[in-house]
């Protein structure tokens, strides 16, 4: 099986169709918890951090599978998840998938260049 290109990983993680399918309603409950409650308790902070880790870890593994060294893969996974999270917020505000499409298109070549 050929190695997946990083572009494919970026596009796969983007989920551009979801905002359209739900009419740009809702958002990321983890982001909401981070903004609203992360300062309230240590357990809330830990839960939010764990949620983000469950997203970045598989992305880092996928990048490692394409040949990216482990430490670099972890950093790129953080970049990807962070960029896509913000793109989701912007897409919701603009009621347009343009931010998601832009992030996926820009991340792909960046990741392929490693």
Q: Can you spell out the DSSP letters for 1-38?
A: -PPPPHHHHHHHHH-THHHHHTTT----HHHHHHHHHT
Q: How many CB atoms lie within 10 A of CB 12?
A: 12
Using a cut of 0.85, tell me whether the model's pTM lies above it: no
What is the distance between the alpha carbons of residues 98 and 16, in angstroms, rounded to a whole number?
9
What is the distance between the alpha carbons of residues 75 and 106, in angstroms, rounded to a whole number?
16
Q: What confidence tens digit (pLDDT) does each residue in 52-81 have?
A: 899 899 989 989 998 999 999 999 999 998
The pLDDT profile of the chain, 114 residues, written as one tens digit per residue, is 344 555 455 545 445 455 555 555 566 666 666 666 656 777 878 888 888 899 899 989 989 998 999 999 999 999 998 898 888 888 888 988 899 889 888 888 887 775
Q: Could you tell me the domains of the chain? A: 28-113 (1.10.357.10)
């Amino acid at each position: 099986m050929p190695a997946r290109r990083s572009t494919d990983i970026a596009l796969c993680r983007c989920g551009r169709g979801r905002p359209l399918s739900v009419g740009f309603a809702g958002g990321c409950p983890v982001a909401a918890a981070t903004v609203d409650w992360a300062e309230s308790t240590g357990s809330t902070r830990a839960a939010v951090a764990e949620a983000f880790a469950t997203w970045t870890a598989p992305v880092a593994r996928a990048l490692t599978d394409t040949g990216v060294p482990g430490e670099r893969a972890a950093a790129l996974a953080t970049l990807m998840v962070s960029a896509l999270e913000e793109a989701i917020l912007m897409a919701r505000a603009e009621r347009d998938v343009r931010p998601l499409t832009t992030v996926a298109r820009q991340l792909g070549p960046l990741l392929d260049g490693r």
